[in-house]
Structure 1
Amino acid sequence: MTDDAVVTQRELQLLTLDVNGEQHEVITEPRRTLVDVLRHELRLTGTHVGCEHGICGACTVLVDDRPVRACLMFAAQAEGARIRTVESLSDGDGLGDLQRAFSEHHGLQCGFCTPGFLMLAEGFLAERPEATKEEIREVVAANLCRCTGYQTIVEAIDGCARARRGACAGLCDSKEK
């Protein structure tokens, strides 16, 4: 074995990641980000890369049910944790309730930031199912959207939250009380 091969072997790390309920073994560099491993190794491209500095939120995933900027986390840090990406939100071949709410409330435009908002909202609603629109508005301010103006995103999350609580039939319209 050459010296280069020895160095390469030492620089690689075997990780076992629980992503969307499935175990994956990945061999990667120790300093590779979670977003890069998700997109390039596991081919889960729903998690987007925007700023790569943790500012935009397009790369938000859930790690142990908490929203995390995957561009700021090393994949090695996620070993042993439960990771959920936007792909976990679908209901079989159809959209999940939060995804449908974004569509029905026009909470997406170009769609680039949408996966990050969906995962931020999913984590937030799991923790705060009774959230008010003001609380939702405060939480979504953590992610950047250049198209919607945020109001439709807030209405989508609020409508989904109220539907999950049984406050209305189907997905709640923003005009319903």
Structure 2
Amino acid sequence: MMINCTINGRAYQFNIDPRMSLMELLRQQGLNSVKQGCSVGECGACTVLIDDIATDTCIYLALWADGKSIRTAEGEVKGRHLSAVQQAYVDTGAVQCGFCTPGFVMTSTSMVERFRGQPLTEQEIRRGLAGNLCRCTGYTSIIKAVQKAQQLDEETPR
């Protein structure tokens, strides 16, 4: 089955097995920020943005990506510059082992973009990140990263 989609701003056409998950397709393309964690949509390690919506790719069939725009953590880096969210994660020390970080970054990116100009409360951030699990942190630094990302995003000229 043939599908067409955009990944990190670049158009692609793939001949896929209709049973293939989007996670499998993206990892085959060398997009290793898309981690295989639980494979049942519970941990968020495979989260990407599909048409700007945070989505678990392990339970999303690749054929559903036809005509969609997909963004991964690799695509958030512009030249040699991290995105506001990625920089905030670095600045706040929200990265420990790093396995879950790309999924958290993409979920955070979705929140920061969706609520641009509307500072989120800690409770709203916790609720927004509920689909992502981390075994290394107490989430405090991740919440601080989202708050800082909102500040950095506001300071970034468009």
- Distance apart, 1:93 and its partner CA: 2.1
Q: How many residues align?
A: 154
The correspondence of residues 49-64 of structure 1 with structure 2, limited to 5 A, is 49-64=36-51
- Distance apart, 1:60 and its partner CA: 0.4
Aligned equivalent of 1:32: 20
Aligned equivalent of 1:71: 58
Aligned equivalent of 1:150: 139
- Write the distance in 2 (CA, Å) between the matches of 1:138 and 1:161: 16
**Taking CA–CA contacts closer than 8 Å with sequence separation of 6 or more, which of the two structures ends up with the larger relative contact order?**
2
- Write the distance in 1 (CA, Å) between the matches of 2:90 and 2:103: 15
Q: Which runs of 5+ in 2 are unaligned?
A: none
Query: After superposition, what is the alpha-carbon deviation per residue over 1:48-86, rounded to whole angstroms, capped at 9, x for unaligned?
Result: 110000000000011111011000100100110111111
Provide TM-score, normalisation by structure 1. Answer: 0.83
Say whether residues 1:97 and 2:78 are aligned partners: no
CA RMSD of the aligned region, Å?
1.3
Q: Which runs of 5+ in 1 are unaligned?
A: 1-12, 170-177
Provide TM-score, normalisation by structure 2. Answer: 0.92
Q: 1:137 aligns with which of 102, 121, 126?
A: 126
- Distance apart, 1:133 and its partner CA: 2.2
Task: Tell me the percent identity.
Answer: 37
Could you list the structure 1 runs, at least 4 aligned residues long, displaced by more than 4 angstroms after superposition: none
